[in-house]
Structure 1
Amino acid sequence: MTHPLAAPTYPPAAPTPPPLPEPLAYHRMARVSARHRWWRPLLGTLFVVVAYVLAFGVVDVLSYAWGTARDYPEAPDGTIEFGPVSGTALDLLMIAVAIPVVLLAVRWIGRRPAGTVSSVTGGLRWSWLGLCVVAAVPILAVSTGVMFLLPMEGAPPARWAGWEVFGPALAMLVVLVPLQSAAEEYLFRGWLTQAVGAFLRSPWWALVPQAALFAAGHGWGTPWGFADLAVYGVVAGWLTVRTGGLEAAIGLHAVNNLLAFGTSAAVVDGLKNDATAADAPWQYVAVDLAGIALYAAAVLWLARRRTPTRTVPAPPPLPEQPPFPGPYALGSFPGPYAQSPFPGAYPRPPHDGLPPRS
């Protein structure tokens, strides 16, 4: 019988569940695998650099051997003169080899699905990529047309190259420019962003380094051109994190490069021009940045309507391992000695190991 003045008893409170891990945004996808270790992004970056240099060298050697066998002329710097169309195709192909290098680094070094560098869903979202391309075409077509009509001092007048030149060049560009553009996105907005994001939570710490390296990778031209490329890298990286994948950046990059190369191929000797976006004057940069800003606004408007997946759940922690793993761990050995206090990996034997005497 309970004493009338005794304190009432209550059932024990249920244990508080542990807090759920923070969802992972795109720049944190290097940590999506339970096998993530701090050194994997560093080793993977070294692998990407070395493997890309080797792949670039292989393509260069094969192209040199093929050009020599076909009796192509040799340039003063020792390279082979393939002509404007074939030479441009080779340049684009040398950049495109970065795609398999990055995918291999993600899968082999990062120990996670290769598609996690494409988006948080584990693959390239083709319908979302198509919408981004549709948004980019009219905006960038207008900005490219304005830049084409801007008068530039010292520039020769543009002359139509003719369909016999423009047709094959356009066919080559349609095939290779998307691969080249995607390769740069997989390398800078993909691997480098996720490698830095593996250590830092804020996406801005991951976006700024890849944008600076992206601008530097195009060479040192005018300060305006470098600033244009750096701003593009930041905006493309921000859209990547904001939408959870590379689709918006690939759409912007591919359409922009296809229009730029296409207008160059449409004029006589346009593909022979060695100038890059780093050499752009301030007039071009002003128009280009306006187009990038309009495209970013269009993608954000589409993202509010479509709501692409932006984050994924963090992986659960690995289960704790027994102190003595193996088939003979303490408590796992069948028989009367299964619960023996013997602290070793094997149970205590019933005798000294010698056969019993008869």
Structure 2
Amino acid sequence: MLTVAAPLSPYHHLARTPTRRWWRTALGTLFIVVGGTVLALVGYAVVSAAAALAGRPDGADGLPSFGALADLALSFLMVAALLPVTLLAARWIQERPAGTLSSVTGRLRPRWLLTCLAVAGVAIAVFLGAIMAVDTATGADADPTGVLAGWGPFAVSALVLVCVVPPQVAAEEYLTRGWLLQGVGAWCRGPSLPIAVQAVVFAALHGWGTPWGFADLIMFGLVAGWLTVRTGGLEAAIALHLANNLLGSLVAAAFGDLGIDETAADMPWRYVVIDVPVLLGYAGMIAWLARRHGIRHTCPDPGGAVPAYLGDPAVGTLPVAAGCAAQR
């Protein structure tokens, strides 16, 4: 039987259910790591076998490959394999609705997600424009041979990226800002420690590049974690992460640079100086919009009713059925 957190619980307490036990979180984490790894390896083996049967040449890793774009898509999907096992861990091992990883309403809130995506798109566009302007002005990382890939190759790359980046982003968010933040938060009164822990783990999962890059990843994790608790769900974090990865990948695709192996962990100091104000500006805008639109950040009260703006505008006020399982 599935259980939910107490009414009016904040996001970081959604794993604090009547069946909460320390070993459930530990076992669930092991399940996620093992299950995600198995799914990723199976997918990698299937694609490599298909490439071998098709007579494709070896890629950078020495195995048959369908090309740089396919390899990039496969790397994204290998990360995405963590998403289903994370949801299953919440439901099977912690015995709570998997939707409680999404938000205090028990699911992602589509209109709020779209609002966050609009703000995140502007923020990341400003960031990318600023770093290009700085690099152009200083001559840093200039590539005199760089040329546009052309509309045909770009269109193909863009189509693939739109398909594979969202599940990759969702997997990372549900694992860190969802499972990990709530897993630690179930044993903490306040959200500070859970937010800090998941931010460090998030940065570590991206590798140990430059000190500046690692610090920027921690900053990203702190902002995303704070917004998750402040807005009661993953929408703001997913939007920022998706805009960052998708727009950055599309810019790389425009120049045919999808085969590069650098990540945010390798970010130089001049990019961090630009990125931190952008992150803080995004956090401030989202917090303001959440307050303005009355975005719920705690579970509903079963004894009351959800205001119309937290329900479906077509039906107005919705009665709350059971704690955190209420819908928006």
Q: TM-score, normalised by structure 1?
A: 0.78
Contact 2:149 2:253 in 1 (8 A): yes
CA–CA distance in 1 between the matches of 2:66 and 2:198? 32
Name the structure 1 match of 2:129: 145
User: Separation in 2 of the partners of 1:128 and 1:92?
Assistant: 25
1:177 — aligned with what? 165
Instruction: Encode CA deviations 1:141-171: one digit per residue, 9 max, x unaligned.
Output: 1111121233253542331110111110011
Q: Could you tell me which residue of structure 2 aligns to residue 156 of structure 1?
A: 143
1:117 and 2:105 equivalent? no
Aligned counterpart in structure 2 of residue 312 of structure 1, from 299, 302, 308: 299
| Equivalent in 289, 299, 311 of residue 286 of structure 2 | 299
> Residue 204 of structure 1 corresponds to which residue in structure 2?
192
Q: Distance in 2 between matches of 1:137 and 1:153?
A: 25
Instruction: Using structure 2 for the length normalisation, give the TM-score.
Output: 0.85
- Distance in 1 (CA, whole Å) between partners of 2:22 and 2:262 is 40
> Which residue of 170, 179, 182 maps to 1:191?
179
* Contact 1:24–1:311 (Cα < 8 Å) also in 2: yes
Select which of 9, 33, 36 maps to 1:49: 33
Moved more, 49-58 or 124-133: 49-58
User: What is the CA distance between 1:222 and its match in structure 2?
Assistant: 0.7
Q: CA deviation at 1:86?
A: 1.1
Q: CA deviation at 1:39?
A: 2.2
State how 1:71-150 maps to structure 2 within 5 Å. 71-75=55-59, 77-150=61-134
Q: Does 1:26 align with 2:35?
A: no
- Where do residues 261-300 of structure 1 align in structure 2 (5 Å cutoff)? 261-268=249-256, 270-300=257-287
Tell me the distance in 1 between the aligned counterparts of 2:30 and 2:36: 10
Q: CA deviation at 1:79?
A: 3.1
Moved more, 219-228 or 36-45: 36-45
Partner residue of 1:234 out of 202, 215, 222: 222
Aligned to 2:203: 215
Q: State the AA in 2 paired with 1:241.
A: V
Task: Provide the residue aligned with 1:246 in structure 2.
Answer: 234
Q: Deviation at 1:306? A: 1.1
Amino acid across the alignment from 2:254:
A
Look up the match of 2:45: 61
Q: Show CA shifts across 1:24-50 (max 9, x none).
A: 211111124x33333211211111111
Q: In structure 1, how many angstroms separate the alpha carbons of the residues matched to 2:222 and 2:98?
A: 24
Post-superposition offset of 1:272: 1.1
Distance 1:187 1:284, change over 3 A: same
Q: What is the root-mean-square deviation in Å for CA atoms of aligned residues? A: 1.8
Distance (whole Å) between structure 1 residues aligned to residue 59 and residue 35 of structure 2: 27
Consecutive unaligned residues of structure 1, counting only runs of 5 or more, are: 1-20, 316-358
Larger radius of gyration: 1
Counterpart contact for 2:48–2:65, Cα < 8 Å: no
Paired residues in the alignment total 294
Aligned sequence identity (%):
49
> What is the CA-CA distance between 1:99 and the residue it aligns to?
1.0
